Structure 1
Amino acid sequence: MTPTHPKASLLTRLARLVRMGSHIAHGFFILAVRYPHLANAERAVITRAWARKMLSIFGVEVRISGDNPGFYPPNTLLVANHVSWLDIIALSSGTVSRFVAKKEISDWPIVGTMAKNGGTLFIDRSNRRDASRINGQLADALSQGGCMSVFPEGTTSDGFGLLPFKASLFESALLAKSRVQPVAIRYLDAHGQQTGTLSYVGDHSFGLILKRLLSMKKLVVELHYGQSLQAGEGELASRFAISNAARREILAGLNLSDDTPDTARQTLACPQAVTQ
């Protein structure tokens, strides 16, 4: 999809790039030095402030609607559709959580260190049995009052559809008797129209998405919180039932229906949080 959005000036783009680099360095310092000595609630305050400043550097406006659970709801599994690596920053600007990511990211320079220090859980996508291990870790974190996030599509889409959900990691919510909070993410351009400019699919690279983000004059990200679901109650007695209910909530938040064709395009090398 060819972007048609108004572009920021070259000076604005350069200023954003410099400020972004400085803010990432500041975040790296916080994660390496301060995080180990802070309680979860204190970490959440710092993380949300960092995410909000990063979005402001990019000129991104966040609009939040729906059943907002607060900035750090305890024993809550956040589940969202996945469009771009920017999703993680956008979600953290509203509700702070820890994520599940593919294990390869743990070895990446800077990003891997920041992810590990930030409490990310890493899953081995090549080993289907690894989901059981991650479920145990997720359940432990949730039971201890944590807020965790997964992207149950398992990869990114272009944002105009919703891929089938993988139900495996919903088992953690049953084990911990957690609330499951669906979140629908949409990106709007300067004209208020949904855009796939930042979608991390096909041959889109991290650098290309960053270049587009820096050059956009205006971008709005919508976070719509659907109705929260209590795992284990009523009809939500299995991970498949919870997965289906969460998917319906996100479809509604995206103004889609169950008969909307699924988005089939996937990224080849995306540093996104994943599930199996």
Structure 2
Amino acid sequence: MPLLLIDFPSFNPVAVAIGPFAIRWYALGYIGGIVLGWLYARALIKNERLWAGGSPISLSQIDDFILWVTLGIILGGRTGYVLFYNLPFFIEHPAAIFRLWEGGMSFHGGFLGCVVAVMWFARKNGVSILSLGDITCGVAPIGIFLVRLTNFINGELWGRPAAPSLPWAMIFPTGGDVPRHPSQLYEAGMEGILLFIVLAVMIRLGALKRPGLILGSFILIYGLTRIIGEHFREPDAQLGFLWGGLTMGMLLSIPMLIVGGILIVWAVRRGAPRPAEAVR
């Protein structure tokens, strides 16, 4: 074993406990991501220079949308986990589907839930689906970053066995005595910090003036970083490796590369809308 092998810090997954009631860091990660994302979205909407003729979405509309996207994240994330990662178990134990406090959320399911929320809200309120999608995806890395950090705090979703010479390899409480990659931190860095910086720079350079560009870029870059991260992350025990050494996370991310690329090309070719089209 390497001399600099790091023991996993003994974090308490419960942030606050009052009698029988407990608030976990995992829940706070979602809450913090939604709140901070909402504040950032409001800042983007108020900055008229970022839009072609002004934001097509009002502050009151983005305030109302928060409830919609929260439901999309929770319902979609849980449904995705049930369908993609542990369907046989939930068929035998259907009541466990509703025990969210036991964990089990899927990013890809949560993303699809957000897509449904965006499309439904946009049509109901007469706003641009692509622009609302751009805002949602522009702020999403904040939540991804915080949730990945809470995955690390919980000591879950740890990485594959690391080379003995890797100085930051860790022994996770539920990962045996094998030094492993802290893959949660890798994903927090790539899917959270890196993705946020890239999208923020694009927004500052005028990407919101081309509806769908941030949406497509988010989908493409997330899919790419997730596939890279999966090379360091231990597959879920109930699934293991699938075809050709692929994991479920990789398989679900491959379509994102295609869809993201198509949206980027379409947004660039379509160009920025005229002011009369941008503001309704």
Higher RCO structure (Cα 8 Å, ≥6 apart): 1
Structure holding more helix per residue = 2
Name the larger-Rg structure.
Answer: 2
Give TM-score, length-normalised by structure 2: 0.28
Give TM-score, length-normalised by structure 1: 0.28
